[in-house]
Amino acid sequence: MVEFKDIVKTYDEKFQINIPHMVLNDNKIYGLLGHNGAGKTTTIRMLLGLLKPDCGTILIEGQDVFKSNKIKKDIGYIPDVPNLFEKLTGFEHLNFVSSLYGFNSKENIQYIEEFMELFEIEKDKDKIISSYSKGMKQKISIISALIIRPQILILDEPFTGLDPIAIQKFIGFLNNFINQEKRLILLSTHDLHIVDDICTDSLIMKNGQIISQINLKESKKNIIQDIFFKQLGNSGESI
Amino acid sequence: MKNILYSYCKLFAYRLNKIPKKYRLFLAGIICAIYIGLFYLLNHFVKMPLDMMVYYIVLFLTYMFFIYLPIKIYFDFFKQKKIELLFLSPVSLFSCFNFMYWKQILKLIFFAILLILPLLYKKVPLFFILFKYIPLISFYILFLYTIIFSVLSGLFLIFKKNIYQYIMLFIGTLEIVGFFLAYTIYGSRQVMGLHVMRNNLQSLVSKIKYDNHLLVGFICIDGILFLISWILYRQSYYKNDFMGSTGYNDMLSKGKKEPLNLVFVYKDFRYLIRDFMNYKYIVVTFLIFIYTLVYGKRNVNFKSVCVYLAIFISIFSFQYIIENVKNEKSKMDLYILSNMSIYKFFKQKIVANELFVGGMTFVLCIIISLLYKYSPYKICFLLFLSTCLTLVMVNILTYTVIGIEFVLMPKKITFNLVLKILKESLTAFVSLIFLNIGIEMYLFIGKKQFLWIKSIVLFLLIFVILKYSNKFTAKKFNKGFEVRNRKAENI
């Protein structure tokens, strides 16, 4: 469970992220939506402990994310732009990341290789990351987040650059992942269809604030599109 | 910290195991051969006194600490976001910082040891002298560690956002201040609050008198270090230029193609700031040369000044042209779209480079002339020499760099990598040759009469050849360029 308490983060005295109280429960996939610059990535970075809010706390399983390093072990993060050690090979990078999280057994290498096979990059595992295509880098970024066996997955535009087959496989993985005990996914995306298909709940952000939280499972199909355009003040029919 | 260390060790072991045994032996053989060669060269050709050698080594280390370290830390931490990768794992921010910092220090020490090692052959006392200065070097490490850590943390706390530019400015200032500080300390000049360092070096410094050897030696070390730091800087910096695009985008957004003026591109103050960041080292080099000149004026004769000027032009052209052409690479597609021929592009680049390098050299010449109160004849000669050399250097370098960057580089990815390495090595190697020629000329100029006349004749000859070969080379490049474009169209 993730809990935001009185979070305020101000930028340039003009833009402010303000989340007075918000709870994200286990076994749910939250779709975080909003226009460009609404504050989605900033919120995610605060949740990860990479950016400190001006005030307030973020609790993950009751522990403050800015005070406890151990809690980070349970969080897997896929950034919007892959952040990788470009000079390492794909396999080296994944092996290095899993070692950082304390996974050092031989079984772990097998685990990495299984993921590489799943995303069809096992042939390129010994190539340097800087020579990878955009999609391949994204795949490595996704695998890095998955091999650490996280309980919470935070995904910031994870489908960028992926081919349709990889997207399908990844969505399949996410559906399996959420069915396990105490798992949570926060997915930031602009693709409303994906949110409609896989998310259980949606969070819509506007100017740094969560303006609506909707349970999608109890709502009718494609409702998110109507709500999204209505909430953000654009019918989506013009142009 | 333990986790990161373990992961790095594991990675290193994995990489080592990946290299086949025969290649490992081959590599070891090459390293041994290089070292044996270096032992031989150093012990047969280097006749420098031992204390002088120690002096340069300590100077080198200090300088490396001042320049390499802040740059590397900046890029690893903020630019390449390596720290973010580590910090996402269950380790503290301080552990990340600590690890990254000491990793750089160890790398630096390792690099220094590699350089010092060949000197130890037959010169065992050198080792003891160096050993004596370990406390001093440790002091530098701690000193820098404290400064960098506190200033970066302070900036981070104060500004929170837009910190990159402040860090850039901070590092730039630190490097400039660092250089002058190091120079002042080793120049046995008293600096408040730094008496600890000064006392440690007092015995050594008392043996060394400020002379021409020092001047040349200093310029050499300066040049080498600038090249090393510059290569490092450039490779990391241009991966993702956060300062944004240039004025060319503005032109396109207006919907009309204005004639490209490659000399004056500063439409906005931001671009000037951006280019100052890019050409920071060049500015520093210029300042260093003036500084060195001011302090060396009583000891340097006219012929040495000519050589000094030649060294300046060589280093300066290298730094400026490679940086400048590299900047243009990202905008190459725009040039193609604007129907600008490669020949015109060459021409404009060469003129721009000649103007800039020539302008800076002219300023230096004037300063020299004023400082040394030269006769009009000498001033004219100095200007003539610098103009010739500037033209030669700019022509050679612009063609070489443009050729590599625009024609050869885009051919194949694997080939590209090899070329990239070759290009970097070549840059360092050629500049070293220039520096060596400079020293040789400097050391023997007093003995051999009319050498300068021969040099000028040679420069003129190269200049004439270059000017006539302009069109021919441009045509060749143009052809290569067309082939590349056709291939791209086919794809």
Predicted confidence at residue A30, as pLDDT, reads: 92
Q: Do A95 and B92 touch (CB under 8 A)?
A: no
Q: Do A102 and B161 touch (CB under 8 A)?
A: no
Q: Do A69 and B92 touch (CB under 8 A)?
A: yes
pLDDT along chain B (491 residues), means of 10: 74 74 75 72 63 61 61 60 72 71 73 66 61 61 60 58 51 53 45 42 44 50 50 39 31 38 44 56 66 61 73 76 68 62 67 79 82 77 78 75 61 48 50 48 46 52 51 51 52 45
Q: Do A12 and B161 touch (CB under 8 A)?
A: yes
Query: Which residue type is seen at B401?
Result: V
The residue of chain B nearest to residue A67, with distances taken between CA atoms, is: B92
Q: Do A100 and B82 touch (CB under 8 A)?
A: no
pLDDT score of A117 more than 80: yes
Helices and strands in chain A: count of H runs, count of E runs: 7, 10
Q: Do A50 and B90 touch (CB under 8 A)?
A: no
Each residue's pLDDT tens digit, A159-178: 888 888 888 888 888 888 88
Instruction: Choose among A48, A69, A99: nearest Cβ to B10.
Output: A99
Q: Which residue has the higher pLDDT, B230 or A148?
A: A148
Contact with chain B for residue A127, Cβ under 8 A:
no
Single pTM value for the model? 0.58
Contact with chain B for residue A110, Cβ under 8 A:
no
- Number of other residues whose CB lies within 10 A of the CB of residue B255: 6
Length of chain A: 239
The residue of chain A nearest to residue B15, with distances taken between CA atoms, is: A92
Are residues B40 and B34 in contact, defined by beta-carbon separation less than 8 angstroms? Answer: no
Residue A116 burial (10 A CB sphere; 0-12, 13-18, 19+): buried
Token pair for B291: 């500084």
Mean pLDDT of A36-40: 85
Contact with chain A for residue B87, Cβ under 8 A:
yes
| Surface of B (405-434) touching A: CB under 8 A | 413
ipTM value of the model? 0.71
Predicted confidence at residue B239, as pLDDT, reads: 32
Token pair for B217: 């030696």
What torsion, rounded to 10 degrees, do the Cα atoms A148, A152, A156, A161 define?
Answer: 50
- Residue A74 DSSP symbol: G
Place of tokens 């390129």: A124
| Surface of B (433-462) touching A: CB under 8 A | none
Mean pLDDT of A7-27: 82
Each residue's pLDDT tens digit, A183-210: 899 999 888 888 888 888 889 888 888 8
Measured in angstroms, the CA of B421 and the nearest CA of chain A are apart by: 14
Predicted confidence at residue B224, as pLDDT, reads: 55
Instruction: Choose among A72, A88, A104: nearest Cβ to B90.
Output: A72
pLDDT score of A50 more than 70: yes
Predicted confidence at residue B136, as pLDDT, reads: 59
Alpha helices in A10-104, H assignment, sequence order:
40-47, 90-100
| Surface of A (20-59) touching B: CB under 8 A | 48-50
> Per-residue confidence at A140, pLDDT binned at 50, 70, 90?
very high
